[in-house]
Amino acid sequence: MDYFLIIAVLVFLSAMFGYLNVRFLKLPNTIGLMLITILFTLGVFALSYFDDTLLNAERYIITQIDFKSILLDVMLSFLLFAGALHTNFEQLKVQRWPILVFSTLGVLVSTFLVGTFIYYVLQLFGLDTAYVNCLLFGALISPTDPIAVLGILKKAGVPKKLETKIVGESLFNDGVGVVVFLTIYKFATPSTEKVTALDVLELFGVEVIGGILLGLFLGWVTYRLLKSIDDYDIEVIITLATVMVGTVIAQKFHISAPLAMVTAGLVVGNDTLRDTSMSEITETYVDKFWELIDILLNTLLFVLIGMEMLVLTFKVDYVLAGLLAIPIILACRYLSLLLPINFFKERLDFVPNTNLIMTWGGLRGGISIALALGLSEEMNRDMFLVITYVVVVFSILVQGLTVGKLVKKLA
């Protein structure tokens, strides 16, 4: 089966499941698509007791797709650029300090809290694993997923000030989370070379600072190019080239492509620069183009997440550990946000119950699954993959469906 056929099948399933959701379920697209895909996959499992043709076909498709590479190396750049392009830059600037603390200190604190609690929980189930492997799980599950957050918050009616905090945090903390994950991964990988604190600082500095500087440069070049012409067709293509070439450069020099794309998207989408670089018709076309890219890739991503069930090794202990991990992760997120929110809430006029809403609205998604897929067998990959999947499914289906009601009740 060639890649074109696989893509055709995925797009067909996305279109069919999307239609069923819009026509009958009327859920937010990200939630509806994943729910229908999971139900479809469970139906295929049930059917396989009589005829396993469909199960084998679906399993073949999913095993031919490198979910980790597709999401982290390709899709994520497009999705983050699109998300940043439509983020309110002025509000982001006002909330920059809490967002910076949430996406850095918050991720680090959550990583160590989750890793520590999960280590002791796994002992209860007799699932022995090294503490550093639990920290890896803490690192991959702590960042909130901008793709899930952006898709669901649009319909949740969250106050703008609070929406900016949640969206801004999720845009940046996945890049930081990936760097934290890679850093701990170095410690967890058996190697003859000793990893020093200097190595960690170098990796963190190159990835994070390098990614932001590259994004600023790409954003500035794109702005200058858009400003010098007035042709909406070519200007749309220029923004597309920015993401594609920028991602290649970031990967070549081992710097954070997600942070580069977020930064570039914020620069290009900045209202002040937009007014001087794009005509009204160009703005419309650029926005609509990236909106369509966002919707298409989101649709494919959440169908893929639903289908990832097929590659999991389900064991009762793994699933129970995953269910127990849900309240632990939520509690650790609440604790990691407590100090920065109390520090900033007076001067920046936070809405009531900001911590509770940010805890419940901090959804996990495809990035966590992609990172879990990158674990090695020595790092208990099968176990942590199942735990991650359980947390992500709960996050999107339960938290995603109820965050709007929570906002109306508490904000």
Identify whether residues 71 and 59 lie together within a single domain. Answer: no
HSE value, Cβ hemisphere, 13 Å, CA-based, for 388: 35
pLDDT of residue 193: 67
Identify whether residues 99 and 240 lie together within a single domain. Answer: yes
**CA gap 16, 199 in Å, rounded:** 48
Q: Which of 198, 193, 178, 167 is nearest to 96 (CA)?
A: 167
pLDDT tens digits, 374-386: 999 999 999 999 9
pLDDT of residue 239: 97
Identify whether residues 389 and 356 lie together within a single domain. Answer: yes
Q: Which of 83, 240, 235, 109 is nearest to 180 (CA)?
A: 109
User: Over 60: is that where the pLDDT of 192 sits?
Assistant: no
Reported as a pLDDT band with limits 50, 70 and 90, residue 330 is very high
Identify whether residues 252 and 299 lie together within a single domain. Answer: yes
Identify whether residues 31 and 95 lie together within a single domain. Answer: no
**Structure-token pair, residue 214:** 């590259």
Q: Give the pLDDT mean for 180-203.
A: 79
pLDDT tens digits, 23-65: 999 988 888 999 999 999 999 999 999 998 999 988 888 988 8
Q: Per the structure, how many domains does the chain have?
A: 2
User: Over 90: is that where the pLDDT of 14 sits?
Assistant: yes
Q: Which of 18, 101, 41, 28 is nearest to 389 (CA)?
A: 41
pLDDT of residue 154: 67
Identify whether residues 229 and 178 lie together within a single domain. Answer: yes
pLDDT tens digits, 74-123: 999 999 999 899 888 888 888 889 999 999 999 999 999 999 999 999 99
Identify whether residues 36 and 145 lie together within a single domain. Answer: no
pLDDT tens digits, 274-308: 889 999 999 999 999 999 998 899 899 999 999 99
Pick the last residue of a domain from 37, 63, 89. Answer: 63
Identify whether residues 366 and 238 lie together within a single domain. Answer: yes
**Under DSSP, is residue 193 helix (H, G, I), strand (E, B) or coil?**
coil
Identify whether residues 142 and 75 lie together within a single domain. Answer: yes
pLDDT of residue 39: 95
Q: Which of 8, 52, 91 is nearest to 348 (CA)?
A: 91
The enclosing H or E element of 118 equals helix 105-124
User: Over 60: is that where the pLDDT of 1 sits?
Assistant: no
pLDDT of residue 191: 67
pLDDT of residue 178: 86
Identify whether residues 226 and 344 lie together within a single domain. Answer: yes
Average pLDDT over the chain, rounded to whole?
90
pLDDT of residue 159: 78
Q: How many other CB atoms are there within 10 angstroms of residue 121's CB atom?
A: 17
Identify whether residues 262 and 348 lie together within a single domain. Answer: yes
Phi, psi of 221, rounded to the nearest 5 degrees: -60, -45
Q: Which residue range forms the structural domain that includes residue 9?
A: 3-63
Contacts of range 370-378, beta carbons closer than 8 Å, 24 or more positions apart: 370/67, 370/68, 370/71, 370/72, 371/68, 371/72, 371/139, 371/140, 371/178, 371/181, 372/137, 372/140, 373/67, 373/68, 374/68, 374/185, 375/133, 375/136, 376/189, 378/190
Query: Do residues 281 and 232 touch, judged by C-beta distance below 8 A?
Result: yes
- Residue 86 burial (CB < 10 Å; 0-12/13-18/19+)? middle
pLDDT of residue 176: 87
